[in-house]
Amino acid sequence: MSPAIHAGEHDPTSKRFTRWWLTRGILLLVGCVTPALELAGASVFSPPGTSEAVPAPESRGPTLRLDYGRGQFPGNPVAEFMYFVPLISLEPISIVKSRGNTQRARMVSATRFFKARSFLVTCEFEFVGEGHQQDVLDHTEKVRRHERELREGGVLDHQLGSINVQGAGRVSIEVVGTMAGRIPTVAEVRVHFNSRGQPSPVTIGLHDIRYLDGSFRLHNESVARVNTLIFRRKSGPGKMDITVASVKCSDAGDNFLQNVLGGLKGTTANLFMPPITVEQAGTETMLAFGLALTLEAPVFTFPRAKNLKAGG
């Protein structure tokens, strides 16, 4: 039988060329233990003038339509826009949407700055509609692997529980790279969820896991509001940089004082936050997405996320 985890109480060209978590001790100093995010987990696009290479249906994820703000397309469902989350996840993950969810992600503009040896592409999206969606991670296998040490008093800290998108917002994606003649190579993709000064609609839920009173329980639950995710081309395991706007205990209020304290914690966290290990396939997908945006591809198809649970 799989170990069950229960929620517990808190522990105290002619074209214009247009960090994860603090160490446990430092976060204790700012008042709430904030776990280090540890995410568990070839995309297809059609450059202008080419035919799309269509993969087998069982190997495909959702296809995003990219109109670069030129038409009246209402946008892609936010759950599909955020499909990179299960692709970078190192653990099984489920996608949960609120009843009657109308959230969509629509591209409103795209600018490109090309130089002889480099380029910068910026695509602006807006999240519209109502509702919320969650990507919920399943720690069952991890708990099973560490069951003995947990029963002996050990702790699984720095665990990511969920990634949440609530309501509307403004998102920009920056693609930076190099040019070899007319051939672009994407070096970095930055996803800004707080574009145009609007608050990010994306938060993450974090917690520790302990064995207490005969069951596995969640402790030190906190919520961080995510500003930026950064994917870089580099050798070795997949990594993702992250910056946050705030870090708050999950039961903290939404008043002025709590928001100020949460912002201070977020600022401090960004100073010490190391890159997060993610699935290399997820990093490669985001770099491929950046290339699709650079080449003005009309569509982009995600690969199937291997860690996405059935029904997710």
- 8 A C-beta contact, residue 195 and residue 127: no
End-to-end CA distance of the chain: 23
In 3D, which of 196, 181, 189 has the Cα closest to residue 292?
189
Q: Summarize pLDDT for 175-217 with one digit per residue, the tens.
A: 999 999 999 999 999 999 999 999 999 998 888 888 888 888 8
Q: Summarize pLDDT for 68-108 with one digit per residue, the tens.
A: 988 889 999 999 999 999 999 989 999 999 999 999 999 99
**When comparing pLDDT for 260 and 10, which is higher?**
260
Q: What secondary structure does DSSP assign to 244-267, as a single string? A: EEEEEETT--SSHHHHHHHHHHHH
Q: Which residues contact 298 (CB under 8 A, 6 or more apart)?
A: 46, 48, 65, 66, 67
Which run of H or E residues covers position 170? strand 169-180
CA distances, 146 to each of 140, 149, 208 (Å): 10, 6, 13
Residue 127: what are its φ and ψ, rounded to 5°?
-90, 125
Q: What is the pTM of this model?
A: 0.78
Q: Summarize pLDDT for 124-167 with one digit per residue, the tens.
A: 999 999 999 999 989 888 888 988 999 888 888 877 888 999 99
- Average pLDDT on 17-22 reads 33
Domain ranges of the chain: 5-51+61-296
Helix (H, G, I), strand (E, B) or coil at 49: coil
